[in-house]
Structure 1
């Protein structure tokens, strides 16, 4: 067995059981204890494990892509191989408790937020009332939401090799997110967003530079197979390069994992992957663009949802802000009213909803139960400043009980 292969298998074991002894690994791999100690020391240097007396415990948090297994095959060959192996995979995992894990491929951005009394007009300069610099990106926000909603989360993203890459690592390491794979780009900087938040009504204007988020490779997608294979749900958005997103979706479907697509920011590329999607969650604007039907009320939202299903989607949830959310599941509509909230900052409302929805689906809730939970979660999120400032699960349960 090659050295890299053995170390990947050690990580796979630790990801499942969280701790391991040198003696066990030496016996399992039929190598000396000194060889295993060398493996664990190298993994510790890479920030993936923490050494302890006689063994190691998992950290699984790295800024590197050094443990990618090079197969020499293209991505379609990998999918074919997995498809051929799927029956055996399912038999081996039968009865295994896989409930409560969400894998999220998404963006990490650095958000630069300026609070303004009102939005500036063209050519106008305004003095900001305050500014902050913090973590953002739809992927990172949704991973934070899903983890605070009470499920295990593995987050996959890509940053640059700049001053913000360590910022990303430190944020994710200190968060509630269970584990993450954080690749680095040699050519693009860490993604960033410039955000204005109006103090009149909490509404926002955002300009995003995606940077490293759009440089994820086929090999990097293939390398997350192990982390994806025991998830209940894959949640993706459209802030990464579409090829990587589509390949991850196809990988999830090959592994029989539910896929939720939040088609934001809107791109017509979303139409190309509808056949692989279990739940799509557009807001009113995105649903209008997907369907070609302008949404002005609940009736037009129903028309748009039917059109999106006609294009290949299985189930649709249209988020409608203060008007709640509309679900189309099969031929059945259900309207989830919005929870009353005092809006302070709506920047992360959609991310809060999607992360909480994925967590609830992963824990076995029905789509209506999950959307109701997500609506309560989002109502609490908009009462806080900052897109990544999410509520705790118990706060959501209290709001649900007050309905």
Structure 2
């Protein structure tokens, strides 16, 4: 076994079992303890593990400035293509891998949206964590799924902010890669007091610099996951390689096609479930979605492109599921809207959490609707409700 293969096997073992001893690895790989100690030291330098007496433990929260992974994504996919991927059983274990964005949100609460050329005073402002990927990871973790989140930040002052925020969250584990060239992504958000609606301008920054090698490093996390959830706030090559790798290892793939891009077409062969909102469904299908009937037509059109299941979120009208056979309408939960910024992210994270725990499409979408209805009653896109409060809202309905 080559050195790189052995070190990767050690990482896979630690990721599954948390800890391992030098003696154990020496026996498994039939090499000296000194060789294993060198392997562990090399992995520790790359911030993948922590050395401890007699062995090592996996580092769940990683801020990675450089990687030394030798196998690129092309060779990795070729290797899986030559193998027969074992079909997974129906049992789901509640594990989700989320590849997505991390942004710094700069939020201004205004009485109304300004007109062109107009300056208005904000009622108040705040700076906090955001990004679709991070928000969805938070939602899934609050819905009690085991989440591994993968994103990329800069080497600026906000990278440590990102690490600290995620470390203190309910997210089980994460990997933050760092870009030397681009800053941490950021978003400028206006929230209107009139109706809770929002306007957002995003600078993606490091989110668009994820490399093939960094995607290849997802292999061990994907193999332990039930679902991969992706959006469109990262570079399309990275997203494409991630969904290909997920399918290669037998993982269900959910795509939230936001912000919408025509690049979504190249992802379709690898997507099991797609979750557009009304605007994204309209753009993808060519059918203007403005009510339940038009949503049904759009869902059928999107399904015909080759996606097994389509779920269109309809805001105050609930959501619609189409699996190629029947339409199922999820009626909305009443909510007193305060901030709708993270509603879609709340829905997607909660939906995948429920699905990963073995619930049906209908049950998962219903849970996600209840979750999102609570999320819009809270201020801030990353301010997610608890699992128990969602169950209570469902019970009350």
Q: Conserved in 2, the CA contact under 8 Å of 1:112 and 1:195?
A: yes
Q: Conserved in 2, the CA contact under 8 Å of 1:4 and 1:67?
A: no
Question: Match of 2:20?
Answer: 20
- Aligned Cα root-mean-square deviation (Å): 2.1
Q: Conserved in 1, the CA contact under 8 Å of 2:46 and 2:66?
A: no
SS at match of 2:213: helix
Question: Match of 1:209?
Answer: 203
Q: Conserved in 2, the CA contact under 8 Å of 1:202 and 1:344?
A: yes
2:295 to 290, 296, 301: 301
SS at match of 1:351: helix
In the TM superposition, 1:60-209 aligns within 5 A as 60-64=60-64, 66-71=66-71, 75-87=73-85, 89=86, 99-209=93-203
Question: Match of 1:367?
Answer: 361
- The total of aligned residue pairs comes to 397
Q: Offset at 1:8?
A: 3.0
Matched, 1:232 2:226: yes
Q: Offset at 1:41?
A: 5.2
1:248 to 217, 242, 247: 242
Encode CA deviations 1:262-302: one digit per residue, 9 max, x unaligned: 00001111122223211110000110111111111111111
Q: Conserved in 2, the CA contact under 8 Å of 1:352 and 1:374?
A: yes
Q: Conserved in 2, the CA contact under 8 Å of 1:142 and 1:352?
A: yes
SS at match of 2:64: coil
| Structure 1 pair 31–98 and aligned structure 2 pair: CA distance change class (3 A) | farther
Q: Offset at 1:56?
A: 3.3
Question: Match of 1:335?
Answer: 329
Q: Conserved in 1, the CA contact under 8 Å of 2:96 and 2:229?
A: yes
Task: Tell me the TM-score normalized by structure 1.
Answer: 0.92
1:36 & 1:70 partners in 2: Cα distance? Answer: 19
Mark the runs of 5 or more structure 2 residues left unpaired by the alignment.
none
Question: Match of 2:11?
Answer: 11
| Structure 1 pair 365–68 and aligned structure 2 pair: CA distance change class (3 A) | farther
Q: Conserved in 1, the CA contact under 8 Å of 2:340 and 2:376?
A: yes
Mark the runs of 5 or more structure 1 residues left unpaired by the alignment.
none
| Structure 1 pair 171–41 and aligned structure 2 pair: CA distance change class (3 A) | farther
SS at match of 1:63: strand
In the TM superposition, 1:307-322 aligns within 5 A as 307-322=301-316
Question: Match of 1:258?
Answer: 252
Deviates more, 1:328-337 or 1:17-26: 17-26
Question: Match of 2:394?
Answer: 400
Q: Offset at 1:77?
A: 3.9
SS at match of 1:86: coil
